[in-house]
């Protein structure tokens, strides 16, 4: 099977796919499960904290979390900026239901919409901070959407994003290989081509530098140590159950799912061996923070 490749290091954006983003391309995905996603909440939350550490906005009026998921991290934005209007946007009703339960004070406005459907103009004013964390890998058209999101920012506003950059890691490569030898390989392939949506760091840098005054792009590889209980499921399998394996789970029936997961789990046991301390799971992520020019035409400091 030919491995997916990332777009070239240029601000040029590839043509749209034939399938409209956010519709048929994702209708077969299994529903998001907030409980499964939360199994590794501590590990998943660290990149969000590292991203926000590079955002130095002091007193924003409007903050948007695009792809807010179950809401825990969005509520952290409300704690950091208690006077700001906070809006959390997500396409999953299950995730938003969990977010509303957690938001006991009703501080956040929770909006159901895909990234493609969401319109910043409906907010009634410019956005001061727009955060999107571990979301854009699910949005094949996001390179085309980012310019409009930047244009929606207030003078001196900040755009901050983070996407996984581990699609060539064994966790994802083996998933594609198991899918390639499955009898329903043709049905599984479209949902596993997420690498096509994620660009190289230099691509994001070029795109943002053409439109923002201050841009910071970097990558971090986290060495996650996952608990591996004797006789229990492999922890990397449990990690991807909540994210990257969803397109497979949504296509296959129960018997097919069980067979696929068993085959994939055997591969993971070899790729990520259980050790006395657990399982070491390296995970690379790409970050970008861009700030527009302030009212005077200079970057606010």
| Those residues with Cβ within 8 angstroms of residue 78's Cβ, 6 or more apart along the chain or in another chain | 84, 86, 107, 108
Residues with Cβ < 8 Å from 48, sequence gap 6 or more? 73, 76, 133, 134, 162
Q: What is the DSSP string of 140-201?
A: TTHHHHHHHHHHTEEEEEEEEEEEE--TTSHHHHHHHHHHHTSTTHHHHTGGG-GGGGPPPH
Taking only the tens of pLDDT, the chain with its 301 residues reads 333 333 333 344 433 333 333 333 333 455 555 555 455 667 888 999 999 999 999 999 999 999 999 999 999 999 999 999 999 999 999 999 999 999 999 999 999 999 999 999 999 999 999 999 999 998 999 999 999 999 999 999 999 999 999 999 999 999 999 999 999 999 998 888 765 789 999 999 999 999 998 999 999 999 999 999 888 999 999 999 878 888 888 899 999 999 999 999 999 999 999 999 999 999 999 999 999 988 744 444 4
CA–CA separation, 30 vs 36, rounded Å?
Answer: 12
Q: Is 273 helix (H, G, I), strand (E, B) or coil?
A: coil
How many whole angstroms separate alpha carbon 105 and alpha carbon 56? 25
Among 223, 207, 233, smallest CA distance to 290 is for 207
Q: Are 268 and 237 in contact, with CB atoms under 8 Å apart?
A: yes
* CB neighbour list of residue 44: distance below 8 Å, 6 or more residues apart: 37, 134
Burial 190-213 (b: 16+ CB within 10 A, else e): bbbebbbbbbbbebbbbbbeebbb
Cβ count near 58 (within 10 Å): 7
Dist CA 187 CA 25 (whole Å): 11
pLDDT of residue 259: 94
CB 284 within 8 A of CB 172: no
Query: Rounded to the nearest 5 degrees, what angle is found at the Cα of 183, between the Cα atoms of 180 and 186?
Result: 60
């Amino acid at each position: 099977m030919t491995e997916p490749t990332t777009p070239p290091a240029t601000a040029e954006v590839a043509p749209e796919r034939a399938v409209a983003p956010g519709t048929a391309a994702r209708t077969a995905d299994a529903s998001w499960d907030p409980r499964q996603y939360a199994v590794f909440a501590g590990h998943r939350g660290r990149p969000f904290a590292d991203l926000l550490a590079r955002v130095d906005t002091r007193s924003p009026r409007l903050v948007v979390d695009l792809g807010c998921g179950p809401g825990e991290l969005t509520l952290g934005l409300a704690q950091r900026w208690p006077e700001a209007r906070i809006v959390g946007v997500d396409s999953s009703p299950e995730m938003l239901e969990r977010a509303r339960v957690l938001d006991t004070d009703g501080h956040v406005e929770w909006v159901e919409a895909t990234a493609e459907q969401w319109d910043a103009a409906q907010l009634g004013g410019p956005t001061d901070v727009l955060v999107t964390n571990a979301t854009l890998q699910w949005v094949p058209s996001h390179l085309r959407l980012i310019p409009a999101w930047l244009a929606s920012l207030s003078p001196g506003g900040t755009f901050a994003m983070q996407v996984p950059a581990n699609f060539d890691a064994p966790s994802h490569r083996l998933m594609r290989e198991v899918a390639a030898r499955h009898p329903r390989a043709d049905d599984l392939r479209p949902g596993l081509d997420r690498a096509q949506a994620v660009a190289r760091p230099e691509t994001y840098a070029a795109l943002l530098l053409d439109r923002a005054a201050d841009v910071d792009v970097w990558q971090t590889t986290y060495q996650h140590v996952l608990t591996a209980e004797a006789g229990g499921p492999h922890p990397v399998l449990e990690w991807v159950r909540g994210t990257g394996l969803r397109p497979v789970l949504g296509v296959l029936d129960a018997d097919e799912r069980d067979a696929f997961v068993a085959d994939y789990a055997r591969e993971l046991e070899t790729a990520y061996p259980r050790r006395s301390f657990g399982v070491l799971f390296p995970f690379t992520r790409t970050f970008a923070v861009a700030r527009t020019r302030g009212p005077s035409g200079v970057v606010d400091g």
